[in-house]
Amino acid sequence: MGTVGQGDARDGAAAGGNAGPQAAYLEPTEAPTSADPRTEIPERDGPLDLAGLSAADVAERIAAGETNAFVADSSRSVWSIVRANVFTLFNAIIAGCFLVLLFVGRWQDALFGFSAIANALIGSIQEYRAKLALDRLALLNAVDARVRRDGAEVEVPTQDVVKGDLLVLRAGDQVPADSVVVLSNGLQLDESMLTGESDAIDKTPGTEVLSGSVVVAGEGYARADRLGADSFANRFADEAKRFSLVASELRTSINRVLRWVSWIIGPVALLVLNSQVIAAGGWDRAFQDESWRQAVVGTIAALVAMIPLGLVLMTSIAFAVGAVKLARQKVLVQELPAVEGLARIDIICLDKTGTLTEGDIVFDDAHPIAVADAPGWDAVLGWWGVQPDSNATAKCLAARFTAAPGTEPVGRTSFSSARKWSAVSFGGGSGAAGTWVLGGPEMVFPESAAIPAAGGVPAPGPADSAHAGADLLETAAALAASGRRTLVLAHTPHGAGGELDASEALPADLVPVSLLTFRESVRPDARETLAYFASQGVDVRVISGDNPQTVAAIAREVGLDAPHGVDARQLPDDEDELIDLLRDEVVFGRVTPEQKKRIVLALKAAGRTVAMTGDGVNDALAIKEADIGIAMNSGSPATKAVARLILLDGRFSHLPGVVAEGRQVIANIERVSMLFLTKTAYATGLAVVFGAMLMQFPFLPRQLSIIDGLTIGLPAFFLALLPNAQRYSPGFLRRSLSFAIPAGVVVTIALAFYSRMATSLGIPQEELRTGTTLVLTIIGLWILVVLSRPITLFKTFIVGAMMIGLILVYSIPIVSDFLQLTDPGPDTAVLVIVTTAASIGAIEVVRAIHRRFLRSLEVARQRDARAARSRAR
């Protein structure tokens, strides 16, 4: 019932005219006028033609393209999904190497290409599944519009509405196009999906109704004016729908490594190719006996080893598995890295309606006033609760008050959000004789008004009556400050006739009977979810289009420390001042969609990682700009299309599960990334060292593929999916490289030492490669053991299985022949044992130093966090 009881009169739209939300948030493209005869507003005192358009009129408008047809993006396009997963730097490098090997006829060494194909397929398929789910939801939510044509009321698909159509609007209908009201019978609209304000708006003839708003009370007719892409909701959605990739530290860090590799891959390729050709006898001989082909294969082996192939694939798999697990919890992941994103946030912005509250009004309590003596008041409330044209606030009275007066009313005045009260009169014999008024206390009993005597009560003096009026308003204000909407039921024995139908003035001698309080239904999971975020160090900001003090009261109800709310109409223009205000305050009310977007951008500029939840079109811009946008399934298609995560059952309590899944992904990928980045480090070192020493590269690509599978790929797959509740801490790449680079140096020195010694001993090239494969596999398995600590039974099983796999590779003839492995001689065996033993000791030293380094980083991070909190206080 509007802002009844809160003294919160709306500007413009409540009283009529065209100062609706479009004036506040978007520049109007065409104000409703009578210039176009097809949208002309009939004179109020003349006959009103409700026949609607004729079939010929409709055909003419369809031919002119003046229809409501608009293909809204309910999700990402297929092309954007393919582009994001296929056209990447990683795939470009791998595809280049893959094509070179096919060109020289060595497809056996091109197995690594399948990892790029698998990576692109996993990401594309999972995100396409999310797109199909969203498209199905959009199709299920499609509704028809009710119009009058050729004098009859018909239902047509919303896209078939044409300019000038006479829309029939009843409670529960969603307005399909921007229109001008031509007839209203208590018509009230909820524009919260567009403006964020949950109060109903009166619509009288001549006022504009916006597409996407919902009729909550009354009925009326409106002439369709702006349709399709020109309508308010679609213009708003068009700005929001441009999808951008979610910020992902994992993806960003991996891409950074790939960029580093791409910068040096050209010079390294030339260095290695030259060394391979020189080692084969020189450039002239290489082209004579075609040994250049083997030189190219060796070069590709060195280059592919530098690329963290498996890390990209493993990250995609971890994201995909996380998305599937979240789908079982009714959380739809639009973009795979969003699984990680929510675990990184340090502040979450919530819209009140649909997030903290259910978005509906429920009756709270009746507070009878002792001075009154008016039998039948509860029956009158029961009558109001069942009227078809009552708004949502009045209708919720029916749940508590089930009786009704014995006769029909003899007069009534419908509710208006401009005057904020309604009235009804009953005659004698009804058990509730007299006139009853239900409305805002400050509107029914202004501060200057005195409360008269009730029947049977001695009349108070003027001072006493004024004092009684002040007490009533003070009590109502206290109830409103607790977040409850407050109405007063008043009664007078006068006016028990039909004069209410012709008058909008308050009846005389009203006496308050009872204060009635209403509240928004708070989501039962809101308090627990917010407590979880608080325990995890995640700040919360509530930004809503509603009254700031009402929002603050609801915020306190769910456990937030919000002594008051900030009116966004007074937000500072200076960006630094806004950031300071956002740091200190928790609740912001009367926030426009553009201000929500500005708040999110300001928080991001301050270095915060921001999540934004919401369900209305008014939330779409902010959700799009947030690091992680979260939409409710009940929200608008535009909002869901740009969100990263969608709560399919609308349960806010799923978010801790999303955080936990994201933390598991981040923590486990960080662990396995040390395996992959160690390989990148030693592969780069080997390429440079062997190129500088003019030695043949000691591996074939296929040998490196099997080493990767045994020491990194297969075990990393299982390690990446293990439970892990470690809290997120920024600096993933720095921590990983602080181990990977020293460990890579150890491996490079070990293999260079082994190769130089083997060459000096005259060991054949195939046996030398067999030995290097054995050395690298053993060192790789030990690095796996080091990074898997603490060792559990499951991890022991994984490492043991990989060691068995190593034995099988050497003992199964068809496998060893394909990999060109031979039995190592005595010299090779001794070299392998000495090299691996020294390397294992060095790896243990590197890990010990690495652990000390990580502890020092954590101490520094905690010290900085304490300093930041002190500055904030």
Active site residues: 351
**Helix ranges restricted to H, 307-367:** 309-328, 338-344
In this structure, are residues 246 and 335 in contact, taking their beta carbons and an 8 Å threshold? yes
Contacts of 667 (CB under 8 A, 6+ apart): 724, 725, 726, 728
**Spatial distance between the Cα atoms of 510 and 453, rounded to a whole number of angstroms:** 9
Cis peptide before 790 (omega within 30 of 0): yes
Q: What's 757's DSSP letter?
A: H
Buried b (16+ CB within 10 A) or exposed e, 275-287: bbbbbbeeeeebe
The C-alpha torsion from 583 through 589 and 590 to 592, rounded to 10°, is 50
Assign 728 to helix, strand or coil.
Answer: coil
Beta bridge partners of 485: 518
Q: What's 371's DSSP letter?
A: T
Which H helix or E strand runs over 561? none
Token representation of residue 85: 């997963």
Residues 54-62: contacts with CB within 8 Å, 24+ apart? 54/149, 54/150, 55/149, 55/150, 57/162, 57/164, 58/149, 58/162, 58/165, 61/162, 61/163, 61/164, 62/162
In this structure, are residues 39 and 162 in contact, taking their beta carbons and an 8 Å threshold? no
Which H helix or E strand runs over 498? none
How large is the C-alpha radius of gyration of the chain? 36
**Spatial distance between the Cα atoms of 530 and 871, rounded to a whole number of angstroms:** 24
**Spatial distance between the Cα atoms of 209 and 232, rounded to a whole number of angstroms:** 10
**Spatial distance between the Cα atoms of 553 and 549, rounded to a whole number of angstroms:** 6
Buried b (16+ CB within 10 A) or exposed e, 745-783: bbbbbbbbbbbebbbeeebeeebbbbbbbbbbbbbbbbb
Assign 122 to helix, strand or coil.
Answer: helix
In this structure, are residues 223 and 39 in contact, taking their beta carbons and an 8 Å threshold? yes
**Spatial distance between the Cα atoms of 241 and 235, rounded to a whole number of angstroms:** 10
Q: What does each C-alpha distance from 441 to 229, 390, 471, 515, 838 come to in angstroms?
A: 43, 19, 11, 8, 86
